[in-house]
C-alpha cells in the first residue's frame, strides 16, 4: 500500500527528502532536546511528545475507539519535564505510538481508506494518514533546525 510506504518513509525508512522523524532525533540528548530557542517556543522534546500524541489520536480516529493509554494529561503540546523522565523514555513512547498506528494502517482495506473518520465527512482514513505522514516530515525538518540552533549556543 502506497500510504503505508509513505508513512514509513516519513518516520524511519530511507526517503529522498532527507532525515526522517526517527533519524532527526538520533543522538539527541536531554540537554539538546530540552533547549528552547526562545521563551514560549517549543523544544525538540516537546515536538517528540507532540508527534507521539498525534499518532495516538490518529489511531483512535482510524479505529473509532478511544484509547486512554496516552501517558500524559493534556492535549497537543506537553511541557518538557525537568527531572521526571528522560528524553529517551519519550522517544520510546513516540516509537511505540508509531508502531501501534502502523499496525492499524496496515490492516486497512481499500474500502476503509475512503470512509470518513472522526465524524467529518471529508476526513477520510486516507486523508488522515496523509496528514500524519506530512506531520512527521514537518517536525523532522523542525527538529533538524532546532539541533543546529541548539549546538550553536
| Domains: count for the chain | 1
State residue 82's pLDDT score.
67
Q: Could you tell me the CATH number of the domain that includes residue 54?
A: 1.20.120.450
The pTM of the full predicted model, rounded to 2 decimals, is 0.93
State residue 20's pLDDT score.
94
Which residue is listed with cell 538520533?
26
State residue 120's pLDDT score.
67
How many whole angstroms separate alpha carbon 130 and alpha carbon 83? 35
Digits of tens for pLDDT over the chain (153 positions)? 789 999 999 999 887 778 999 999 999 999 999 999 999 999 999 999 999 999 999 999 999 988 778 988 888 999 877 677 899 999 999 999 999 999 999 999 999 999 989 776 789 999 999 999 999 999 999 999 999 999 887
b/e per residue 86-120 (b: at least 16 CB within 10 A): ebeebbebbbebbebbbebbeebeeeebeeebeee
Range of the domain at 103: 2-151
- Greatest alpha-carbon pair distance for the chain in Å reads 51
How many whole angstroms separate alpha carbon 144 and alpha carbon 148? 7
State residue 93's pLDDT score.
96
State residue 101's pLDDT score.
97
Amino acid at each position: 500500500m502506497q500510504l503505508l510506504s509513505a508513512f514509513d518513509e516519513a518516520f524511519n525508512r530511507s526517503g529522498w527528502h532527507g532525515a526522517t522523524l526517527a533519524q532527526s532525533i538520533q543522538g539527541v540528548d536531554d540537554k539538546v532536546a530540552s533547549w528552547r530557542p526562545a521563551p514560549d517556543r517549543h523544544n525538540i522534546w516537546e515536538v517528540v511528545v507532540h508527534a507521539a500524541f498525534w499518532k495516538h489520536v490518529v489511531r483512535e480516529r482510524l479505529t473509532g475507539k478511544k484509547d486512554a493509554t496516552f501517558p500524559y494529561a493534556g492535549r497537543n503540546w506537553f511541557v518538557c519535564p525537568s527531572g521526571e523522565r528522560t528524553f529517551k523514555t519519550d522517544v520510546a513512547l513516540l516509537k511505540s505510538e508509531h508502531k501501534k498506528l502502523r499496525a492499524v494502517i496496515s490492516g486497512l482495506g481499500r474500502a476503509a481508506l475512503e470512509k470518513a473518520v472522526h465524524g467529518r465527512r471529508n476526513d477520510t482514513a486516507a486523508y488522515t494518514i496523509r496528514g500524519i505522514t506530512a506531520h512527521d516530515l514537518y517536525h523532522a525538518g523542525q527538529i533538524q533546525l532546532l539541533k543546529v540552533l541548539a549546538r550553536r549556543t
